[in-house]
């Protein structure tokens, strides 16, 4: 199963969470390895949408808020470096749209 319909990557999720350096749970340093920065956030958005459309859902979980989906794949950043990631998406109850939640390095990929 792939997630290809009604998918949203909120701008604030990229600008105020993933690409913004944080003291705890910082993902910006990981994304910088592939050249993703605040200045090119639209490229990360495009790449996340491609990732979720090209790769199968690897895990599904019900939560009080809706259905969560895990999609593993790789992002090829602006500097052509590949990052293997686990991305998390949610379909909120009663909303019908699937939106991006977070991502983290895929530690199960053998390099």
pLDDT tens across 12-54, in order? Answer: 999 999 999 999 889 999 999 999 999 999 999 999 999 999 9
Question: Cβ distance 73 to 51 under 8 Å?
Answer: yes
**Spatial separation of the C-alpha atoms in residues 96 and 72, rounded to whole Å:** 22
Question: Cβ distance 71 to 104 under 8 Å?
Answer: no
**Spatial separation of the C-alpha atoms in residues 61 and 100, rounded to whole Å:** 15
Say if residue 111's pLDDT is above 70.
no
Q: How far is CA 67 from the centre of its chain?
A: 16
Which residue, 87, 86, 91, is CA-closest to 65? Answer: 91
pLDDT tens across 38-95, in order? Answer: 999 999 999 999 999 999 999 999 989 899 999 999 999 999 999 999 999 999 887 7
């Amino acid at each position: 199963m792939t997630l290809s319909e009604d998918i949203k990557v909120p701008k604030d999720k990229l600008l105020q969470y993933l690409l913004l350096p944080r003291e705890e749970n910082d993902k910006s340093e990981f994304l910088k390895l592939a050249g993703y920065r605040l200045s090119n956030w639209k490229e990360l958005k495009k790449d996340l949408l491609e990732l979720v459309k090209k790769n199968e859902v690897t895990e599904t979980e019900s939560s009080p808020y809706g259905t969560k989906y895990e999609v593993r794949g790789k992002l090829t950043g602006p500097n052509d470096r590949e990052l293997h990631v686990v991305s998390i998406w949610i379909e909120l109850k009663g909303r019908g749209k699937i939106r991006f939640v977070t991502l983290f390095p895929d530690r199960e990929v053998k390099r």
